[in-house]
Amino acid sequence: MRVLMIEDAVDLAEGVIAHLARSGVVCDLATTVESAGDFRAVQTYDAMLLDINLPDGSGLNFLGKIRDSGDRTPVLMLTALTSVEDRVAALDKGADDYLGKPFDQRELEARLRALVRRDADRKSEQITLGPLIYAAKDRSATLNGKRLNLTAREAAVLDALIRHEGQYLSKSRLYNSLYGFEDADVGENAIELYIARLRKKFTGSAISITTQRGVGYRIGLND
């Protein structure tokens, strides 16, 4: 298991990392929102431990951003803010669990294991849309029984579309699903390219991606 801990209290973080290492868990430490983004750009994680108050921004805003991008990595909030309002705010932003400081290391590890187990169960799911079967675990898809050859970016766009089947997703929303893939000089118009590529792969099938100008794109079955 590999975990990203986003925490600016280094002494606390080093203690957690040492305990996790004894349980066979690899834990990277990011002390700022910016460094957390750098870690996530080059590494995937089984779970994240996230503080709310960070030197360069809010952990809740960071959480909201990654959830908007379609990233469902389990997130356990670790914070001294333990009021009901704080817990509700974190859960509404997409946190999976919440543990107040100070905490017992055994409870932290137990909650972390539970989150990863639930995520593994979720990732084993398949989403079926007519002849299209999408496997969330590895972002692969088959159409009429044949595996589609998808690039990582095409798969990310398809993931966002099929998880919101029947709903229009804006170009901006789809662009955010590419968080961690795109270079800084690639704009939102790149989405048009990935949509065109997906449409080509669906040619001749019952699957279509429709466009509503000024609103976005929607995947569904042909009428």
Question: pLDDT tens-digit profile of 56-104?
Answer: 999 999 999 888 887 889 999 998 877 788 888 888 888 999 998 889 9
Q: Are residues 112 and 208 in the same domain?
A: no
Identify the pLDDT of residue 182. Answer: 42
Q: Of 64, 94, 123, which closes a domain?
A: 123
Domains of the chain: total = 2
CATH, residue 29: 3.40.50.2300
Identify the pLDDT of residue 205. Answer: 95
- The boundaries of the domain holding residue 172 are 126-221
Which range of 53-62, 132-141, 152-161 scores highest in mean pLDDT? It is 53-62
Residue 159: which residues within 8 A CB-CB, separation 6 or more? 70, 134, 136, 139, 177
Q: Of 66, 99, 123, which closes a domain?
A: 123
Q: Are residues 69 and 147 in the same domain?
A: no
Identify the pLDDT of residue 116. Answer: 85
Distance, in Å, from the CA atom of 99 to the CA atom of 76, rounded to the nearest integer, reads 7
Cα distances (angstroms) measured from residue 14 to each of 9, 30, 78, 181? 9, 11, 14, 30
Per-residue pLDDT reduced to its tens digit, 14-28: 999 999 998 888 899
Distance, in Å, from the CA atom of 196 to the CA atom of 209, rounded to the nearest integer, reads 9
Cis peptide upstream of residue 55 (ω within 30 degrees of 0) = no
Q: Are residues 93 and 139 in the same domain?
A: no
Residue 183 has pLDDT above 70, yes or no: no
Q: Are residues 110 and 9 in the same domain?
A: yes
Q: Are residues 19 and 56 in the same domain?
A: yes
Distance, in Å, from the CA atom of 79 to the CA atom of 166, rounded to the nearest integer, reads 38
Q: Are residues 161 and 209 in the same domain?
A: yes
Q: Are residues 158 and 217 in the same domain?
A: yes
Q: Are residues 196 and 133 in the same domain?
A: yes
Q: Are residues 22 and 119 in the same domain?
A: yes
Q: Are residues 130 and 119 in the same domain?
A: no
Query: What is the percent of the chain with per-residue pLDDT over 70, rounded to a whole number?
Result: 93
